[in-house]
Structure 1
Amino acid sequence: MKRSRLLMLWLLALGRLALGQAAPYGNNSQAGHYATVRGVKLYYETYGSGPPLLLLHGNGGSIRDFLPTIPYFAKRYRVIALDSRAHGKSVDAGDSLSFEMLADDCAALLTQLRLDSAYVLGWSDGGITALVLALRHPGKVKRLAATGANLWPDSTALAPALWQQMRRGYQEGRFQTFTDPKRRNDWKVFLLDWREPHLALATLARIKAPAFIIAGDQDVIRAEHTVAIYQSLPRAWLWIVPNSGHATLLDHAEEFNRKTEAFFRAPSIPLTSLR
């Protein structure tokens, strides 16, 4: 069974930035913590102080996705970088995943940390989770930034090459019996993107938190799909990043961080007026 295209893109981008990185993000004994949430032992790391900012990685990823993100935002925010269940150090023995589960985990973690709400930054699956969190737990999200998120899993939302690769991966793995725990977990994580999400554009009108919708102009998420997400949100900014694929926050880290912070710090005004 092949890993998803999203993970492959992440690995390529990570390889360009990981060299010389001092902080052991994702494996930092000084910053790492575990929280038992909804029957799962979630691993997270905290950095900095200030308003809370929750970081949510993509499919098959981990806290290490945010190598250039954490140090920038830790200067002004209390960064909470999470390994989602079944990812990184957050082990999940269950046999399935859903974005509703991931979003409910986030809400429960914030409650356990005695945080009424947080800014949220999500990449890929993390962006989907951020949107679902804002739908299911609106009081928990101050503002959200989502890069490379999709609302449903088919070729109208995803680039044809990615969708075909996912179809092949599903056909190769659907009749296999995975006895190795790691391979079984990888298959469960793959199925999350194969089967989900299933969000109607109309449901986004219920999101009251301001949203910053981002994608690369060469993203594996179709540009028209990203624009439709933006247009369906009551209060939103849009940024299609030039000369970028799916890894916007890595390939254009400095500009990405600066613009995302500008969005978080923008005056509380009706964002639709800026369209």
Structure 2
Amino acid sequence: MTTIHPTPGTYADLNGLHMYYERSGTPRPDGVPLILLHGGFGATGMFGGGLTPALNAGREVIAVDVQGHGRTADIDRPLSYESMADDLAALIRHLGLERADVMGYSLGGGVALQTAIRHPDAVRAMVAVSTPLRREAWYISSRDSMEQMGEHTAQHMLRTPIYELYAAVAPRPDDWARLWGKMGDLMRRDYDWTPQVAALTTPTLLVAGNADSFAPAHATEFFALLGGGQRDGGWDGSGMTPHRLAILPGVTHYDIFTSPLLPAVVQPFLDAQDARS
């Protein structure tokens, strides 16, 4: 098999968006790649420390910058999980893929989940990292921060690593305040995806930190909606669903994507999908 080296500067024009993505790793015989989605105010580069190299050792990884983030410039459209999910489905079609595995962290996890909900035929398996299924599940302190988020916040975030990452790659760095305004609107929007999650059949791995921005109990509730944890799995595993839950110890919402524990739980889940296909 041929190893695909990273291809910075690759774009797809879809849904009015000039979307940036990178391909790396080794394509598998089944041709199902892993699409990787960053968190809010992040970009493809936020996974470069350990996650992407660990995952693309045995599969192709396509890392994507969503609307207004990284090298994907903003357009005249609000940020929404649904529209970003539609963008991702359009990218899958653009790349000529029958389907893909999709993994997202925080904001990206919401986009991954909505892609599985809205475009189930395009998603073979889904990994949602640090992603609650409803807004109310975030701790009150986190929701308070979301309420305060807006264009006025941008100036206070100029001396931070997330701004340094943004300024280094954004096509229009002056859109920084605009991004904060749109993210504030998105973060204040109420949502509850319980009915859609309960109907989801896509094999799903839920990952959360034991010190995440929502309670571990919410992750188990999410898992239960998928049918997980409802009965004894059995000595031969016959009582298990195709879904998995991982609560990582000593991990917060802000460092989970750099934890070596993350690829350690994601890889076996994806490998199981390969064996099942």
Give the TM-score range, shorter chain: 0.7 to 0.9
Structure 1 unpaired stretches of 5+: 1-24, 174-179, 271-275
Q: Distance in 2 between matches of 1:110 and 1:166?
A: 31
AA of the residue aligned to 2:207: I
Residue matched to 2:78:
96
Whether 2:255 is the aligned partner of 1:262: answer: no
The answer to whether the Cα contact below 8 Å between 1:249 and 1:257 also exists between their aligned partners in 2 is no
Whether 2:37 is the aligned partner of 1:60: answer: no
Alignment of 1:139-154 (within 5 A): 139-154=121-136
Residue matched to 1:204:
197
TM-score, structure 2 normalization: 0.77
Residue matched to 1:220:
213
Q: Using the TM superposition, give the Cα deviation of residue 121 of structure 1 relative to its aligned residue in structure 2, in angstroms.
A: 1.1
AA of the residue aligned to 1:70: T
Residue matched to 1:194:
188
Percent of residue pairs identical: 30
Q: Distance in 2 between matches of 1:268 and 1:81?
A: 20
Residue matched to 1:33:
10
Q: Distance in 2 between matches of 1:130 and 1:96?
A: 18
Residue matched to 1:245:
252
Q: Using the TM superposition, give the Cα deviation of residue 148 of structure 1 relative to its aligned residue in structure 2, in angstroms.
A: 0.5
Write the deviation string for residues 67-105 of structure 1: whole angstroms up to 9, x where unpaired.
Answer: 211111222111100000111111122141110001000
RMSD of the TM alignment (CA)? 2.3
Q: Using the TM superposition, give the Cα deviation of residue 118 of structure 1 relative to its aligned residue in structure 2, in angstroms.
A: 0.8
Decide whether aligned partners of structure 1 residues 49 and 88 sit closer, same or farther in structure 2, where only a CA change above 3 A counts: same
Q: Using the TM superposition, give the Cα deviation of residue 65 of structure 1 relative to its aligned residue in structure 2, in angstroms.
A: 1.8
Q: Distance in 1 between matches of 2:92 and 2:119?
A: 11
Q: Distance in 2 between matches of 1:268 and 1:171?
A: 44
AA of the residue aligned to 1:122: G
Q: Distance in 2 between matches of 1:187 and 1:36?
A: 24
Q: Distance in 2 between matches of 1:37 and 1:241?
A: 36
Q: Distance in 1 between matches of 2:151 and 2:180?
A: 15
Q: Using the TM superposition, give the Cα deviation of residue 167 of structure 1 relative to its aligned residue in structure 2, in angstroms.
A: 2.2
The answer to whether the Cα contact below 8 Å between 1:122 and 1:128 also exists between their aligned partners in 2 is yes
Q: Using the TM superposition, give the Cα deviation of residue 233 of structure 1 relative to its aligned residue in structure 2, in angstroms.
A: 1.3
AA of the residue aligned to 2:101: Y
The answer to whether the Cα contact below 8 Å between 1:214 and 1:238 also exists between their aligned partners in 2 is yes
Q: Distance in 1 between matches of 2:70 and 2:184?
A: 15
Q: Distance in 2 between matches of 1:269 and 1:93?
A: 40
Q: Distance in 2 between matches of 1:114 and 1:95?
A: 26
Q: Distance in 2 between matches of 1:171 and 1:52?
A: 36
Q: Distance in 2 between matches of 1:169 and 1:100?
A: 21
Residue matched to 2:25:
48
Q: Distance in 2 between matches of 1:225 and 1:161?
A: 16
Write the deviation string for residues 224-255 of structure 1: whole angstroms up to 9, x where unpaired.
Answer: 222211111144211111111013231x22x2
The number of residue pairs the alignment matches comes to: 232
The answer to whether the Cα contact below 8 Å between 1:86 and 1:189 also exists between their aligned partners in 2 is no
Q: Distance in 2 between matches of 1:32 and 1:171?
A: 28
Whether 2:191 is the aligned partner of 1:185: answer: no
Q: Tell me, what secondary structure is at the counterpart of 2:178?
A: helix
Residue matched to 2:234:
none
